[in-house]
């Protein structure tokens, strides 16, 4: 994939109608309907302020939740509209529909420097179906399409890919940074390039492991997925998480790394307990766990080895925690890696999801080079495959 895409700075937006696809899929309090974390909204501010200051007439759109193609008041973008109004310091109008006569009338009445919102795109079943007619309807609102929703670029939906067939399509600042930082790490990283992979399952990251094995100098494996690797290489993992159908993949990956001279680091000791809800655990050898114990975090020796690997890195991409960090008894491994990255001079890239949640929990988000806003999109990006929401954007060359 070509990661060098045109951005809003490369096109003239003054006086133009702009369809802005943001990622406003924010968490809402089920009882009050209030936004509990506005991080995705604030992340859109640089692009939106640039567009409005340049005199663009902006039609903003997004999805929220999974309404399954039907209007659902509990998933309305109204709270997002209200928060955007506060942040931008101007009144923002909103249509009560994804598209239609009401939305058209509001859009036609926009003056330069004004913004409106469409209602939740997924209230319309045509959105997720990438219906050509619906994509054309959205495109008719604008002269230019600006994509800033990195979390949805792996979806071929009407608002993420379909509209680009009818409009010149460029990246907003948020998306452009994801492309620059993660794309740069995959194509021309400062070396040594260390990939840190954790989380529960190998099956979620098979493509990522295969791709990073080709481009990284070493790969650190932690979290629940490590135990399938340990089992595949002859270890006893007790009651730890295991994916029996991924044992062959783990064994082949281990052998491939050895043949290619790549370092693949597995835990040598772990914090083990009988349950993820236990208040404390015991340090045990990672390859000799009793049947009634499961590994729930990496142990002190493993922490030291992994931290040492990070300390010598030029680039680190991290996706997936080292253990059940939500429980304080099993957070030490994940915390140790986060603190090591915070102290390092390397390019530290946090691949969204639980890794991003962990660095935020430990108060270290601002000390990372980049914290991705994507979840599934980040994983597919790290696989090195073409993503429809990126592929549709205009190349700089």
Domains and CATH numbers, the chain: 8-175 (3.40.50.1260), 182-382 (3.40.50.1260)
Mean pLDDT across 353-358: 86
pLDDT tens for each residue of 114-127: 999 999 999 999 99
Give the pLDDT band (50/70/90) at residue 155: very high
Which of 341, 301, 299 shows the shortest CA–CA distance to 318?
Answer: 341
Name the active-site residue from 16, 49, 93, 201. Answer: 201
Q: Is the pLDDT of residue 71 over 90?
A: yes
pTM for the full model?
A: 0.86
Per-residue confidence (pLDDT) for residue 254, from 0 to 100: 95
pLDDT tens for each residue of 79-114: 999 999 999 999 999 999 999 899 999 999 999 999
Give the pLDDT band (50/70/90) at residue 323: very high
Q: Is the pLDDT of residue 72 over 90?
A: yes
Q: Is the pLDDT of residue 314 over 90?
A: yes
Q: For this structure, is 295 an active site residue?
A: no
Which of 48, 378, 50, 4 shows the shortest CA–CA distance to 170?
Answer: 4
- % of the chain residues with pLDDT over 90: 85
Mean pLDDT across 256-267: 94
Name the active-site residue from 299, 353, 374, 389. Answer: 353
Give the pLDDT band (50/70/90) at residue 392: very high
User: In whole angstroms, what is the distance from residue 334 CA to residue 179 CA?
Assistant: 26
Give the pLDDT band (50/70/90) at residue 368: very high
- % of the chain residues with pLDDT over 70: 100
Q: Is the pLDDT of residue 234 over 80?
A: yes
Q: For this structure, is 352 an active site residue?
A: no
Q: For this structure, is 353 an active site residue?
A: yes
Name the active-site residue from 17, 40, 122, 177. Answer: 40
User: In whole angstroms, what is the distance from residue 24 CA to residue 47 CA?
Assistant: 14
Name the active-site residue from 65, 184, 314, 376. Answer: 376
User: In whole angstroms, what is the distance from residue 218 CA to residue 194 CA?
Assistant: 5
Q: Is the pLDDT of residue 37 over 90?
A: no
Q: For this structure, is 376 an active site residue?
A: yes
Per-residue confidence (pLDDT) for residue 351, from 0 to 100: 86
């Amino acid at each position: 994939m070509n990661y060098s895409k045109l951005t809003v700075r490369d096109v003239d937006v003054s006086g133009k109608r702009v369809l802005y696809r943001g990622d406003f899929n924010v968490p809402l309090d089920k009882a009050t309907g209030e936004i509990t974390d506005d991080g995705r909204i604030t992340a859109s501010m640089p692009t939106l302020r640039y567009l409005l200051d340049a005199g663009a007439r902006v039609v903003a759109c997004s999805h929220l939740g999974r309404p399954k193609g039907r209007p659902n008041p509990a998933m309305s973008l109204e709270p997002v509209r209200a928060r955007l109004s506060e942040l931008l310091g101007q009144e923002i109008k909103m249509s009560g529909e994804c598209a239609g006569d009401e939305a058209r009338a509001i859009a036609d009445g926009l003056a330069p420097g004004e913004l409106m919102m469409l209602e939740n795109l997924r209230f319309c079943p045509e959105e997720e179906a990438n219906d050509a007619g619906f994509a054309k309807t959205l495109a008719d609102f604008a002269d230019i399409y600006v994509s800033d929703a990195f979390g949805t670029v792996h979806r071929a939906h009407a608002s993420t890919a379909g509209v680009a067939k009818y409009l010149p399509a460029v990246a907003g600042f948020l998306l452009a940074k994801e492309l620059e930082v993660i794309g740069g790490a995959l194509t021309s990283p400062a070396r040594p390039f260390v990939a840190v992979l954790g989380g529960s399952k190998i099956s979620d990251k098979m493509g990522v492991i295969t791709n990073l094995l080709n481009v990284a100098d070493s790969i650190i494996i932690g979290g629940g997925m490590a135990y399938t690797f340990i089992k595949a290489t002859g270890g006893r993992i007790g009651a730890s998480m295991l994916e029996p159908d991924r044992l062959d993949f783990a064994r082949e990956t281990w052998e491939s790394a050895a043949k290619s001279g790549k370092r693949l680091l597995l835990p040598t000791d772990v914090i083990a307990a009988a349950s993820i809800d236990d208040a404390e655990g015991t340090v045990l050898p990672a390859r000799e766990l009793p049947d009634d114990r499961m590994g729930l975090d990496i142990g002190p020796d493993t922490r030291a080895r992994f931290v040492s690997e990070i300390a010598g890195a030029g680039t680190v991409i991290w996706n997936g925690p080292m253990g059940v960090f939500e429980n304080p008894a099993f957070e030490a491994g994940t915390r140790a890696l986060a603190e090591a990255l915070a102290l390092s001079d390397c390019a530290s890239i946090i691949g969204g999801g639980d890794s991003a949640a962990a660095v935020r929990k430990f108060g270290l988000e601002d000390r990372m080079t980049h914290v991705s806003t994507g979840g599934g999109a980040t994983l597919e990006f790290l696989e090195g495959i073409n993503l429809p929401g990126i592929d549709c954007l205009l190349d700089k060359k």
